[in-house]
Structure 1
């Protein structure tokens, strides 16, 4: 397929078509899985960014979650009022707000992770670990390329 031309275009041969369909379906499944836990996808992204880290700045979380800083600030403020995260100024730079999970946030993170793992297992059933690793490498490469 000629990526730059318009001749012989077949939507199902366009990788962005499949990436968009997959992303949309994945988000639908995550919304359904998170709702009983009392979370949404935006909160899930914050919890996962903090999952294996003691703390991150709001801008670091926004970067991981691919969200605009003002949007992420609102999400984190809501999570703080819900008792899921704690916000403190960074000792070395008081202008930077650092976010960490509270015990309630850690519990919510574990529940959300279990739900996400069920979706992962169903989605990648019959796909080898080698193929998953190849997919990750390919997605990492094209993600880097798209922002150049």
Structure 2
């Protein structure tokens, strides 16, 4: 797609969707970190917790993928969470080489506390959008992500 508005140095930031995506991600991460820090959670733990919320057991690799973190970072996060009693691990019943992770009751309770903070940010950030607009935004971002992953 060639479009001169994306090639113009005078307005590159304002017309470049990746600029807005990175700015939103940074602002969201900053706001969320301030709120969940009160619960003793950092962003890497939050991402792991939310990955595990939707699936009972996930491999460390799957958590890394869902949480958009590097595998070695995720491994360290899971080790810290294991030491803190927030997760348990097991050998995968399907593949003995794979370690799977599950939230403990303590971890899930902490995730619930933190989710209240994330929900507050969501509700206040998207309050002027309809559900249809949010669905369209999600579909658009999902489409862009799929294309990027193929590059």
What TM-score range do you get, normalising by the shorter chain?
over 0.9
Shift of 1:52: 2.5
| Cα offset, 1:92, TM superposition | 2.8
1:113, distance to aligned residue in structure 2 (A): 1.0
- Segments of structure 1 that go 5 or more residues without pairing to the other structure are none
Partners of 2:76 and 2:142 in 1: CA distance: 28
Q: TM-score, normalised by structure 2?
A: 0.92
| 1:50 equivalent among 49, 52, 61 | 52
Contact kept, 8 Å, 2:90 with 2:99, in 1: the verdict is yes
Which among 63, 67, 70 is matched to residue 69 of structure 2? 67
Q: Distance in 1 between matches of 2:131 and 2:58?
A: 30
More helix by share: 2
Structure 1 residue 7: Cα displacement? 5.7
CA apart distance, 1:78: 0.4
Query: Where does residue 18 of structure 1 map in the other structure?
Result: 20
Distance 2:60 2:42 in 1: 18
Which position in structure 2 is the counterpart of 1:79?
Answer: 81
Deviation, structure 1 residue 2: 2.5
**How many pairs are equivalent?**
148
Tell me the alpha carbon deviations over residues 22-67 of structure 1, each in whole angstroms, 9 at most, x when there is no partner.
1110000110111000000100111101112211111111110111
**Where does residue 131 of structure 1 map in the other structure?**
133
The correspondence of residues 112-131 of structure 1 with structure 2, limited to 5 A, is: 112-131=114-133
Correspondence 1:96-107 to 2 at 5 A: 96-107=98-109
Residue 120 (structure 1) shift: 0.3
RMSD of equivalent CA atoms: 1.5
8 Å contact from structure 2 (residues 6, 16) kept in 1: no
Q: Secondary structure at the match of 1:125?
A: coil
Q: Distance in 1 between matches of 2:21 and 2:36?
A: 22
